[in-house]
Structure formats: C-alpha cells, structure tokens
Amino acid sequence: MSPLVECVPNVSEGRRPEVVEELAEAVRSTPGVRLLDVSADGAHHRSVFTFVGPPQAVLDAALALAEVAVRRVDLRQHQGLHPRIGAVDVVPFVPLRGATLEDCVALSRTFAQRLWERHRVPVYFYAHSALRPERRWLPNVRRGGFEALLREVATPERAPDVGEPKLHPTAGATATGARDLLIAWNLELDTDDVRVARAAARRIRESSGGFRGVQAAGWALPGGRVQVSVNVLDYRATSLRVLYEAVREEAERFGARVVSTEFIGLVPAEAVTEVAAAALQARNLEASRVLEVRLLE
Amino acid sequence: MSPLVECVPNVSEGRRPEVVEELAEAVRSTPGVRLLDVSADGAHHRSVFTFVGPPQAVLDAALALAEVAVRRVDLRQHQGLHPRIGAVDVVPFVPLRGATLEDCVALSRTFAQRLWERHRVPVYFYAHSALRPERRWLPNVRRGGFEALLREVATPERAPDVGEPKLHPTAGATATGARDLLIAWNLELDTDDVRVARAAARRIRESSGGFRGVQAAGWALPGGRVQVSVNVLDYRATSLRVLYEAVREEAERFGARVVSTEFIGLVPAEAVTEVAAAALQARNLEASRVLEVRLLE
C-alpha cells in the first residue's frame, strides 16, 4: 500500500463561495488526491481544506490550491477574527498510514521551495519542520499577523526560512510544516462579553498553564456571542470532554453557558470514542471497536 | 471493489479458551476473511465472532467455524445466562459496502443447507431470511431454549425451516438470517436484585412498549450484580445515550446505579459519534466527520 499523507491548508478566504469553490476544485482536479472536507467560516474569513493521497499527489494539490489563493486573495483587503500572515496562511502535512513525520518534513521543504520559486511568497517552517526552536509553535510564527509582519519581516528574528525577507504584496507569507493529527474546535458561549471567552481560553491553553498540547483564543463573534477557538494538538493527552468541562465551568463563573460547539475539518476516531465511552461508562469502547476503523486495516 | 459481508456467529462456548481459540482459528485460516473481533463471556457461556470478507469466503468461514462448534460443544452439558438453541446458536449475515440484504438472505439459505447436509443440524431462518412472520423476531425462534425445543421441535409451530424436525443430539439447532448492523451491549448495575435489571429491560425493550428495535433482558451475574443485556437493532432510531439514560433512571428508582457497560463485537461509527456529539453539544459531529470513516470511502 502506498503511503498516505493528509494536508490541511488554511486559506484566508471564507466569504466568497466562488473562490472557496475554485480552491476546492484545484484540489479535486489533482489526480490521486481525495478532498475530504471543506470548512469555510465567514466570521473567521478563512477556509480549511482537508485532503489525502500519496505524498507527490498531495504536494501537487497543495501547490495547485496555493496558486489559486495567491491569485484570488488580497490580504490588504482582508479582515477576520483569526490571526493570519498569508493568503495561503498555513499548510500542514500530516502522516497517515505508511508515512512518517520525516516524510512530511521533506514534503514541507519542497512545498516551501516551489511556493517561493513560483509565486515569491516567503515561507516559515513550523512544528516538526521548524528550523528555529521558537518556530515550532505556530502562534510565534504568526504573532501580530500580516500587518505586524509587514513591519518586522526584515528583522533577523522574523526573517523567513525560505525566500527573501519581504512579504508578497497581496499574499503575505506562508507557514508550512509537518505535524501530527490535530483537532480544531470552536465553542460558542451565550454572552457578548469577550472577556469570558478569553478567560476560558486562558484556563485551557498550555501556554497559560492549562492542558498539554492545547492552543486556545477567545473572540467576539458578529451577532453578540463569543467563541473559544481551540486547537487540540495532542488529543491522546487531552480529552475533548475534559476541555468541554473546563470551558463550561469557566463560563459558568461568569453566568454564561456553552450554546453549541463545532469542529473544523475531520476528527480522529480515537478522540470521538473516548468521549462516547465516558458518557456511556463503557469499559471497552475504543477506536478499535469501531467497525469502520477495523475495516480500514 | 468486491462486495463485503459481515458475519457474527454466536457460539455456546465462552469458558474453555482453547475451544474459543480453535473456533477463531477456523475463521482466521479461511482465505479472504478477516477476523475482527472475538468476545467470549464466561457468565453467558457464549462467544461472538465478528469477521468480514467477500460473500463466498464468509460462507466458507462460517461453515468452518460451525464444524468446530458442532464437534466441540455439547449442549446437554451447557448452562449459561443467555438463551440458546444450539452449539452454533445464531449466524447473522450483514451487508456492508457493495452487498445487499438480498445477498445476505441468499448466503443464509446456502449456509443452512450445508449445515444440515454436513452435520444434520436443523436450521431456522430469522430476521430478513424468515419464512414465517413470527420468526422474523429471534426471541420467538429461541423461546425456551434448547431444552424446550427438544420437546417441541416435532410440533408444526416449531418445525425447522431446513432439515428434519429433530434436534442434533449435542449441537441442537441453529438460527441464521440476514440482518442490518446491530449493537450488542451489556449494562451492569450495583445490586444483586435481578428484578431491577428486569424492570430496566422492560422499560427499554420494544416488545414492552419501549424503544424501537430494542431487545433487552435482565439477568443476575455471578458475584452479586445484575446485568441488562441489550440488542439495539436500529441504532439510527434509538440512541445509545437515550437507552443509557432510561436504564440509569429506572435503576435509580430502586436505589441502584450503572457501574459500567461493555460492548460485544463492533460498533458502527454513527452510533458512537451521536453520543459524543451530544456530550460535546457539537452541531456538526457526524460519522462523516470522522477521519477513518472518510478514509474508507
């Protein structure tokens, strides 16, 4: 069986459906690749594409999508909740069956080289591809967003890993890297006080002493609610259930409640099963007991 | 892609590990078949084998397993919690991708014919293979177990569908049929009063006015606890979460609690996801958002 790699590019466009469709079509029309999910979010003004395939096909699809994003997105016009530095903001490569993190590091290197050569978009390596220790952590790469990076890109601390220390005028810069599967998850609270979302984010994120592998931010949503936006980088260490409870408790301290939650992209069976097993007090419900997981073997 | 069928034979042997292993090996050594799960239960004196493959291979494996069971199990010596009529008690065939219930009805017909020809075990058709309406429902076929059927098999009401109206002296009779995926689930309560388990079973089972597609029974377990044993025949209609809550509530009326639950065999992703989505208030968590389910496509 050929190795299988997942790629989950985040593009700074979530409001024009025709552009999201053009981006999706660039992936779909790449031979050998299967587009599994498109999550477009208007408030974030951002879309997340999940596709899988053999390494070379996944690389081709990522470059085809990047070509559309560079041509169609103008960051100077872009405003959204989510921090971003580029039209093609971040391009993670994830090893699935038969592939390793090292394979994905190599893919990210080639992707960066091509992106710079073809489009003059400078690139930062993050996660397992990071060349500087502080860049392992994506929020460091993205600090201050496009606007801050415009001013700081020429400083040694913020110099790109590939390309010249100068942003692409409309497409900014791109972060790419190899990482493990993560879960992207938003929890919506029934308050318009952004401080509640920020307090909940602080409570759970690792950098404020919260849970291992958790990144989180609190934002106000248009329409008078707030959102805790969470990345679970190590879902084996930190359960979704535990995070849900912590956010619920923290919101309750302010008299607020979780109204609903939503996932961006796909979720590994193990994380879902853990939640269901706890809810049912099941002592033998693991991913390996899920029929579809076993059929994949 | 060749059609894929699941077969989940229940054999009246759950105490001798070497016999369970011999049964498993009969399946494993059949070319083209993958044995996904073996759940052996000492209290029930019963084991459940889950395997998948193309129809012909699955038929071969089911017959290979039946040969071992007929040779190794003596129902005259068999006592367990679970009602049973045969050494090879029930052999369901389930359509997975590319297969239909009709394909599985045809498989059950061939299986029945061979079982009778080779081992002189008479066979009853149940579920979608039933030739009499009342036999669609397995508890009707199994009523009173081996001991009652010994006395009643010669009556017109209980005549086998294949073979002579006479049980195999040690292997009894077998039920076989085509059905959809089901979930087999036991909930354990912290009381030694079997009436609590029976009340909970009555509360949830369809035949007592409970939930659609649910069969349930209450039993005393060795060691002073009781168990509600549940088959969820239509997990799209009836959520595991709803059943859990109903059992919990009914137990509470008697001052008892659910201590733990366990699944027998495999569970479809859709049922697991539904529970997790409710626990996390997730508005977009469905089986199609689980990575492994999408990779199967």
Q: Residues of A with CB below 8 A from B296's CB?
A: 292, 295-296
Q: What is chain B's mean pLDDT, rounded?
A: 96
pLDDT band of B1, cuts 50, 70, 90:
low
Q: Helix, strand or coil for residue A150?
A: helix
CB contact under 8 A, B287 and A292: yes
Which member of A262, A283, A285 has the closest CB to residue B282? A262
User: What are the b/e assignments for A157-169, b being 16+ CB within 10 Å?
Assistant: ebebbbbeeebbe
Q: What is the pLDDT of residue A213?
A: 95
Which member of B4, B279, B292 has the closest CB to residue A275? B279
CB contact under 8 A, A37 and B263: no
Q: What is the pLDDT of residue B158?
A: 97
Cβ atoms B50, B4 nearer than 8 A:
no
Q: What is the pLDDT of residue B20?
A: 97
Interval A98-146: pLDDT, tens: 999 999 999 999 999 999 999 999 999 999 999 999 999 999 999 999 9
**What span, in angstroms and rounded, lies between the C-alpha atoms of B186 and A291?**
18
Chain centroid to Cα B46, Å, comes to 10
Q: Nearest-5° angle of CA B199, CA B201, CA B202?
A: 65
Residues comprising chain B, all counted: 297
Distance from CA of B69 to the nearest CA of A (A): 25
Which residues of B159-284 form beta strands (DSSP E)?
174-178, 183-189, 214-221, 225-232, 258-264
Nearest CA in chain B to A239: B280
The average pLDDT across A220-239 equals 94
Interval B4-50: pLDDT, tens: 999 999 999 999 999 999 999 999 999 999 999 999 988 889 999 99
Cβ under 8 Å to A: B residues 17-36: 34, 36
Q: What is the ipTM of this complex?
A: 0.92
Interval B127-166: pLDDT, tens: 999 999 999 999 999 999 999 999 999 999 999 999 999 9
Question: What is the pTM assigned to this prediction?
Answer: 0.92
Q: Are strands A88-95 and A10-11 parallel, antiparallel or unpaired?
A: antiparallel
The question of whether B82 is a catalytic residue gets the answer yes
